């Protein structure tokens, strides 16, 4: 196993180089990948990008340059523009936001918000979801950058495609799946900083939703609301 390596942009640690490259391509400027690769690797003859091996180079040429003979080796991505009938594959969220602005004149508004702790952030998140008829869910486990810093990404619950789980007994909702087959640009990038007994949460909030309507019928009940409804039902029975 390789020693831990850090992302030069955000500091998240990885044990494998390929994991670092995937992370950089998805969340940061793809040009940064070229700077991370050693000089001995393969070069693209069209754009001078560097790659770890010939397979990666072939995949790149197939996707980004004409004349490729390997159409079955295309790199796939879940980050697909959902503006009307666009369906363009963007591979990274920065690319998606840039594409929406340049091609569709949709600016993804953003805001940086700071909180004194997780509880305050969770309360704000719940209020924001209720106010905007939206919901943000964690797509993966929290990434620990170092002893005092962690990072978590929350995505709009309408993003991506429906995936069957378990024994496939559960059927799709009568109104159809919540998933839109691409991504909504709205998301939360949450950084948690811990110093001694103090805790600080910084949130980079991309507000603009795209590719779906913000409908109350698409939002599930939070735990607090479920408890309130249960109490009302019990009182009615009594």
**Residue-by-residue pLDDT tens, the chain, 238 positions:** 446 778 877 888 888 877 887 888 778 776 666 666 554 556 777 776 777 667 777 777 777 775 554 433 445 678 899 998 898 988 889 999 999 999 999 999 999 999 999 999 999 998 998 888 889 999 888 888 888 899 999 999 999 887 776 665 566 666 668 888 899 999 999 999 988 888 999 999 999 999 988 777 677 766 777 787 777 888 777 6
Residues 6 or more apart in contact with residue 6 via CB below 8 angstroms: 12, 13, 14
Question: What residue spans of 89-144 are helical by DSSP H?
Answer: 93-104, 118-132
Q: How much is the pTM?
A: 0.62
């Amino acid at each position: 196993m390789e020693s831990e390596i850090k992302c030069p942009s955000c500091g998240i640690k990885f044990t494998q180089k390929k994991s670092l490259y995937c992370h950089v391509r998805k969340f940061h400027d793809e040009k940064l990948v070229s700077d991370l690769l050693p000089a001995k690797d393969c070069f693209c003859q069209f754009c001078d990008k560097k790659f770890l091996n010939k397979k990666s180079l072939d995949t790149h040429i197939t996707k980004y340059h004409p004349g490729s003979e390997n159409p079955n080796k295309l790199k796939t991505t879940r980050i697909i523009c959902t503006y009307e009938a666009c369906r363009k594959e963007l591979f990274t969220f920065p690319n998606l936001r840039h594409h929406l602005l340049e091609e569709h004149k949709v600016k993804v508004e953003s805001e940086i918000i700071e909180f004194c702790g997780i509880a305050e952030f969770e309360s704000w998140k719940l209020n924001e979801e209720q106010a905007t008829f939206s919901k943000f869910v964690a797509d993966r486990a929290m990434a620990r950058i170092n002893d005092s810093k962690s990072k978590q990404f929350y995505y709009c619950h309408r993003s991506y495609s429906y995936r069957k789980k378990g024994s496939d007994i559960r059927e799709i909702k009568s109104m159809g799946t919540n998933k839109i087959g691409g991504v909504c640009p709205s998301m939360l990038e949450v950084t948690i900083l811990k110093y001694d007994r103090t805790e600080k949460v910084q949130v980079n909030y991309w507000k603009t939703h795209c590719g779906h309507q913000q409908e109350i019928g698409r939002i599930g009940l939070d735990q607090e609301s479920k408890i309130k409804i249960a109490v009302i039902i019990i009182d009615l029975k009594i």
